[in-house]
Structure 1
Amino acid sequence: MITKEHIAEEYRLIQDEICAALEKTDGGATFEQEIWERDGGGGGRTRIIQNGNIIEKGGVNFSAVGGELSHVLKKSLNVDQDDFFATGVS
């Protein structure tokens, strides 16, 4: 069974692969990483590369966040569930 945790881990691996490929292509710069947490639940990794041979500045980000849906948002989305989870790489 595929779980939200499994999907989030796959996105972390995608971020790792993108960063490794960009570092290899640039040949001069490496990513710096900042780990962050969201007060309502979850968190992510922000990775920045800069001053490279090719890349002036760029970022590859991962997040997996969750929390409680407000009554207004539940009504707007027409859902009954009380919580949400969102993950991705940008």
Structure 2
Amino acid sequence: MISWFVSTTRPMRESEGDVEWLLLPCATEEEAKEHASRALVRGMRIEAGTIPGIEPRVRIGGPAAHHWAQSSNAGAIKGLLRRLSEFAA
């Protein structure tokens, strides 16, 4: 069952400065955070939240999106710990 979404942006080829929003459905919040983290690393702007009809309604965007994507995201935290250990070595 799809209960979350992540929207990312990409530049539109036809016009400079305009962006196209792409919507990715996700089954869980954890899956949404993983997709959002990958998009943020690529420099994309993201918005995320629960799909209409899922309660409580959640919408995340702007500066809060980066914090949300990294919070309790096992992949992001493991990646950070790996990079820190490589740096220290």
TM-score category by the smaller chain?
A: under 0.3
Based on CA coordinates, which of the two structures has the bigger radius of gyration? 1
Instruction: Kindly indicate which of the two structures has a greater share of residues assigned to helix.
Output: 2
User: What TM-score, normalized to structure 1?
Assistant: 0.26
User: What TM-score, normalized to structure 2?
Assistant: 0.26
